Amino acid sequence: MSIQEQYKKRVREILSSGAVKMVIGYQAGTTADRRRPLFIRTPEEAEKLVLDSACIANLSGYLVTEGLLSDEKSVGIFLRPDGIRSINILAAEAQLNPEQVVILGFDGNEKEVTALQGEKAKDFTAIIASIKEHAPSAPRNPQLEQIEKMSPKERFEFWQAEFSRCIKCYACRQACPMCYCRRCIVDSNQPQWVNTSSHTLGNLEWNVVRAFHLSGRCVGCGNCDRACPVNIPLRLINAKMAGEVLGAFDHFAGMSETQEPVLASFKKDDSETFIL
């Protein structure tokens, strides 16, 4: 039985047993290589489920939809390891109770996907730990390496050029599982820290604010990158920041449900390269 059929069976099981009230998965999209989210509420609807290598979106953001988990019932969700890390972060930031999340884990490359054993976020601790272990030696994005070789001036100009295309649609924010605030800082206008119009300064402000808000929280799922209608390589900024917090504080986002947010916690042995 293919992994897709296995998981269809499992979805039907957990829905009919009442273990979960809903399963969030993938269904066929507008083109052959696109998938769109599927919200399965009855065992019959499981037939629409698609699970293959084109299922790349991180669905965890749907869990923090206002009121979804407030009835204390469980929800099943298809997640790759990066999505499971998002669950850990959302749990650590008190946005959800991980006991309510039944994970249907999978992983794979461009060709095929395989199932991951486990049900609750904590069952995947070993898998995430091994990803962290391999993080420093993992093949790096060639574009990121190229940017790092630039002089500060060249780099600034590169990003200015990229951000100049930004139309302030905030699709990156909407797609990001970490952007769960009820009111985003850009929507606060007393005072208006981030300029709303899409000119150079406002674009720079917005993207820098987002990079900082994601430092130590981004799992690199790429949702923002794919959502961007003008193809700004947003993932590179977040990957860079993730590397910085890993190097400076040995912090790898989403290791566990109790991991302290790196920018909110203080340890005596934190490196202080800029404060005496």
Partner 1 sequence: MPQCPMHRSISSFILKDCIMAKIGVFICHCGENIGAKVDCTKLAATMGEHPGVAIAVDYKYFCSDPGQESVKRAIRENNLTGVVVAACSPRMHEATFRKACAEAGLNPYMCEIANIREQCSWVHNDPVMATEKAADITRSMVEKVKRNNNLQPIEVPVTRRALVIGGGIAGIQAALDIANAGQEVVLVEREPTLGGHMAQLSETFPTLDCSQCIMTPRMVEAAQHPKIRLLTYAEVVGVDGYIGNFHVKVKMKARYVDTESCTGCGDCITKCPNKKISSEFDCGLGKRPAIYTPFAQSVPNKPIIDKANCTYFKNGKCKVCVKVCQLNSINFEMQDEFIDLEIGAIVVATGFQVQDNSVYGEYGYGKYKDIINGLQFERLASASGPTSGKILRPSDGKEPETIVFIQCAGSRDPSKGVRYCSKICCMYTAKHAMLYAHKVHGGKSNIFYMDIRAAGKGYDEFTRRAIEDDEASYLRGRVSKVWEENGKLMVRGVDTLLGKPVVIAADMVVLATAMVSQPDAKDFAKTIGIGYDEYGFFNEAHLKLRPVESSTAGIFLAGACQSPKDIPDSVAQASASASKILALFSKEKLEREPVVATNNEATCAGCWGCVLACPYNAIDKKDILDRSGKVIKRVASVNPGLCQGCGTCVSFCRSNSLDLAGFTEKQIFAEVMGL
Nearer to partner 1, 95 or 164 (CB): 95
**261 sits near partner 1 (criterion: CB under 8 A):** yes
Asked whether 106 and 127 are in contact (CB, 8 A), the reply is no
Q: Per rule CB under 8 A, is residue 93 in the interface with partner 1?
A: yes
Please answer whether residues 62 and 68 qualify as being in contact, where contact means their C-beta atoms are separated by less than 8 angstroms: yes
Q: Please, which residues have CB within 8 angstroms of residue 24's CB and are 6 or more apart in sequence?
A: 37, 38, 39, 40, 59, 62, 63, 75, 76, 77, 78
Asked whether position 170 contacts partner 1 by CB under 8 A, the answer is no
Least distance to partner 1, CB of residue 68, Å:
14
Surface-to-core class of residue 52, CB atoms within 10 Å of its CB (0-12 exposed, 13-18 middle, 19+ buried): middle
> Does 97 help bind partner 1 (rule: CB under 8 A)?
no
User: According to CB under 8 A, which one of 18, 111, 264, 273 is a site residue for partner 1?
Assistant: 264
User: Which region holds residue 53: left if phi is over 0, alpha if psi is between -120 and 50, else beta?
Assistant: alpha
Decide: is 180 part of the binding site for partner 1 (CB under 8 A).
yes
In the complex, the smallest distance separating the C-beta of residue 107 from partner 1, rounded to whole angstroms, is 28
Span between the terminal Cα atoms of the chain, in Å: 61
Site string for partner 1, 222-241 (x = CB under 8 A): --------------------
Q: Which one of 193, 196, 201, 230 is in contact with partner 1 (CB under 8 A)?
A: 193
Between 28 and 263, whose beta carbon lies closer to partner 1? 263
Residue 105 CB, nearest approach to partner 1 (Å): 25
Distance separating alpha carbons of residues 10 and 162, to the nearest angstrom: 44
Q: Kindly state the tokens that stand for 198.
A: 């899409």
126 sits near partner 1 (criterion: CB under 8 A): no
- Residue showing tokens 């799992």: 219
- Residues making contact with partner 1 (CB under 8 A): 93-95, 180-185, 188, 190-193, 213, 260-261, 263-266, 268, 276
